[in-house]
Structure 1
Amino acid sequence: MKTLRLLAMGVALAACGGAAVGQNAPPAPAAPVTPAVAPAPAARPAGPPISPALGEGPWDVQTQTGPLHVTLVTKGLDHPWGLAFLPDGDMLVTERAGRLRIIRKGVLDPTPIAGVPDVLATGIGGLMDIALHPKFAKNRLIYLAYSKPGAQVRDRSTLAVVRARWDGGAALSDVKDIFIADAWYGEAPLPQRCCGQGPSSGSYGGRLAFDRKGYLYVTSGDRNYGEKVQDPSNHFGKILRLRDDGSVPPDNPFIGKPGYKPEIYTTGHRNPLGLTVHPVTGALWSSEFGPRGGDEVNEIKAGHNYGWIEVTQGAHYNGEPAKGVKGVAGMDDPVLTWAPSINPGNLLFYAGKTFPAWRGNMLMPTMTRSVVRETFDANGKPVAQELMLTELKQRFRDIRVGPDGFLYVLTDEKDGAVLRIEPGRK
């Protein structure tokens, strides 16, 4: 899809009601980079501002399609990153510091599950996503994405995926790295147009998703080595496709092509932090952090190039313009893009019955304290956007549909929470 939309954060805001406290004003845009590019937003701050305390709820909020009732499942999570539902409705949650937590019947077990590998939990690195094997009920296999420290110098890290078995007890077993990205942060970073945030803070990606055929997809960020992303001999800025044991599927798009890593499914990504399989079409979609503006949502197609670092709808941190913003031959335009930045988390497409007005909508939590709801027309073109849950003033990281049909979101806070979203009373 070659549809590009520049969406300011305040275009379509949720109506306030119930426990509403008001909206956050978007940051003021900076000067244009070139006449062909929309005004660039202010640089992303070095660290997130502190969110107000969440409280105990419940919260009744208004949206364009009616009221929502939001309840607290649990708090006390330290920057939770990924959420997976077990067959019985209990939840496994990762904490960026390197802990795997179990929530049983809505109660957070105070003791983390043991056996998680050594994690470099500095900057934005740490323990990231979790995914259950499609046949988890039989084989009890789980997958964790994490920042793997260097053997000699810890900060010289990379993205890795570990597979383990969990029988519901106190510890993981059969713990094994099935993929280690060739995306190590070296001793001397190359000169680059983007970011310069330091060796251990760089963009890892780290989101996981299984498709209908049982293949595992892994997002790998550029680690602030944007100049390496267009090089197919590494894993910087790529989405990867693996078998469930970490081996390479024989039909991957670059199999047998000289100079290409065989795991590569797509290239040209900065920091893809969301990944989902559309429940109706089976298509793969990803959300992605841009630089100064230019956050994206893309439909992911085998063998395609999504442009980074040569093409972006944002501005490079050193002020140098990109070679293009759209319509560049051989590089896909994003389906959605935002300026100023909206800081996307994970995403999903809703296909359930609990929220009938949202069927076919994209839902995406953001670290700018909202959940985006995007609607599409019959041809798959995005047509309208709403920012929901702004009243809670929390950084939202992950979103899932629970076995009960309700929606669940993680707040990426020091005292992080799992929240349940239900239809409200009209």
Structure 2
Amino acid sequence: MKYFLSTFSAAFICITGCAEQIETEVPLSVPEGSDVEMELVTSDVVVGWGMAFLPDGSLLVTERSGELFHVKEGKGSKVAGLPEIRAGGQGGLLDVILHPNYEETGWIYFSYSSPEGAQPGSNTAIMRAKLEDGRLVEQETVYKATPNSERGHHFGSRMAFDEEGMLYFSIGDRGDRDVNPQDITRDGGKIYRIHDDGTIPEDNPFVDEDGAKKAIFSYGHRNPQGMAIHPETGEVWIHEHGPRGGDEINIVKKGANYGWPVVTYGINYSGTSITDKTSMPGMEAPFFFWVPSIAPSGMAFVTSDRYPQWKGSLLVGALRFAYLERLEIEDGEVVKREKLLDGQGRLRDVRQGPDGYLYVSLEGRGIYRILPE
């Protein structure tokens, strides 16, 4: 069974008129002894949204305010030549990743809130470029969501390349939950799959659907801000923000509907009900969910031998409670949750570097390396 929900225990009731919420069943534990030690890499980045490691050991870090930093030996220098970015709310310069054959191609991919288009506001764009002498050159837009919106939230924006070299990325519902997520003719509330140059794979699920956005791979998502490739299965895993409760981990399947907002474990921020349904035929159940919400951010599988006790775990940042969550998975279920870096700050991203170390971005503090015990 691919999803986690074995019994409906530990429920609680909200204010009058609110639907019953099912609380996450696996308790959150705190490791015995001292907390994990960290080593500062750089404090030059204020809100490091995404990180990518270059072959020379240096680091690219996006700053949500609209700046890209190249970090060498602890010093972050600003990269020139960025496109026009409409930073504000949850928008700005967001994720950054390298082409899987970066040393041959030189392509760097980044996501951002772009004002390009006829409508006012912005929407998520994916661009690739090359880094030469501290400047981005040969810029190419490989996807731009439409229409623009004046709303400042739910841009999604995480990216990952699969083992076949396909680029997956997320775009949130842009705050228009009643229209975008369930409509495949509209951008928003989707996971997308394209070739590295932006062309559409012939086997994408909706290429033959009239009016459909051909890049869509799955739909019915709210705001996916975590994405990672499973190191053994090659599956694309995501996490996404729920409303008040109902943050989810999902394993992305071709053409699948993940239900938002028709089904959810969350409620409105006001405490009122969105729906009384947590499942429906034809809609994918989450692999795991959080109630109450942790506001998940960043996502990485631990494969490094530097952390033998964590190997095989999934790491997810918890913006709301300022910690790093470690999830142990056995036989397709989460069997343990552990709180790390408690109180160190709002953790925006977590990545495993090519050197085997884990790196985290803490808002207002910078980039840190997690030291093995």
Distance (Å, rounded) in 1 between the aligned partners of 2:337 and 2:210: 43
Residue in 2 that maps onto 1:206: 157
Q: 1:416 to 1:162 in 2, by over 3 A?
A: farther
Structure 1 counterpart of 2:51: 83
Check if 1:172 corresponds to 2:124. Answer: no
Who is 1:97 aligned against?
A: 65
Q: 1:340-383 deviations in whole A, cap 9, x for unaligned?
A: 11000011111221111112111111212011101111x21111
Q: Deviations over 1:137-189 (max 9, x none)?
A: 122110110001154665x211101111113x12111112111013522xxxx
2:216 corresponds, among 264, 273, 289, to 264
**1:119 matched to which residue of 2?**
85
Q: Report whether the alignment pairs 1:31 with 2:15.
A: yes
- 1:420 is aligned, of 355, 369, 372, to 369
Task: Answer whether contact 2:13 2:21 (CA < 8 A) is retained.
Answer: no
Instruction: Give the structure 1 partner of residue 4 of structure 2.
Output: 3
The alpha-carbon deviation at position 6 of structure 1 amounts to 9.7
Scaled by the length of structure 2, the TM-score of the pair is 0.91
Report how far residue 35 of structure 1 moved: 5.2
CA distance in 2, matches of 1:32, 1:238: 33
Aligned-partner residue type, residue 162 of structure 1: M
Q: CA deviation at 1:107?
A: 2.2
Matches within 5 A, 1:148-297: 148-151=114-117, 154=120, 156-167=121-132, 169-185=133-149, 199-228=150-179, 229-297=181-249
- Asked whether 1:144 is paired with 2:115, we answer no
Summarize deviations over 1:64-117 as a string: whole Å, max 9, x none.
5986321111113131100000011110000011111000123222xx111111
- Which 4+ runs in 1 deviate beyond 6 A? 5-8
Counterpart Cα distance in 2 of 1:249 and 1:218: 14
Give identity over the alignment, percent: 37
Deviation at 1:404, TM superposition (A): 1.9
Q: Which amino acid aligns with 2:328?
A: T
Superimposed CA distance per residue, residues 1-25 of structure 1 (whole angstroms, 9 cap, x where no aligned partner)? 23237999xx9xxxxxxxxxxxxxx
Structure 1: stretches of 5+ with no match in the other structure: 12-27, 41-61, 186-198
Distance 1:144 1:178 in 2: 10
Contact 2:151–2:175, Cα closer than 8 Å, also in 1: no
Give 1:73's aligned residue. Answer: 41
1:217-242 CA-to-partner distances (Å, cap 9, x unmatched) read: 11000000001210110111000001
Aligned residue in 1 for 2:329:
376
2:254 aligns with 302
Structure 1 residue 329 corresponds to structure 2 residue 247: no
Aligned to 1:406: 357
1:88 to 1:64, Cα distance in 2 relative to 1, 3 A:
farther
Count residues in correspondence.
363
Cα distance change, pair 331–65 in 1 and its aligned pair in 2 (3 A): farther
Distance (whole Å) between structure 2 residues aligned to residue 254 and residue 340 of structure 1: 34
Displacement, 1:38? 3.5
* Residue number in structure 1 paired with 2:337: 385
1:200: Cα distance to partner? 3.4
Kept in 1: contact 2:4–2:333 (CA 8 A) = yes
In 2, Cα distance between equivalents of 1:352 and 1:6: 34
The TM-score with structure 1 as length reference comes to 0.80
TM-superposed deviation, 1:397:
0.9
Structure 2 spans left out of the alignment, 5+ residues: 25-29
Contact 1:122–1:200 (CA under 8 A) maintained in structure 2? no
1:320 alignment partner in structure 2: 273
> 1:175 & 1:7 partners in 2: Cα distance?
50
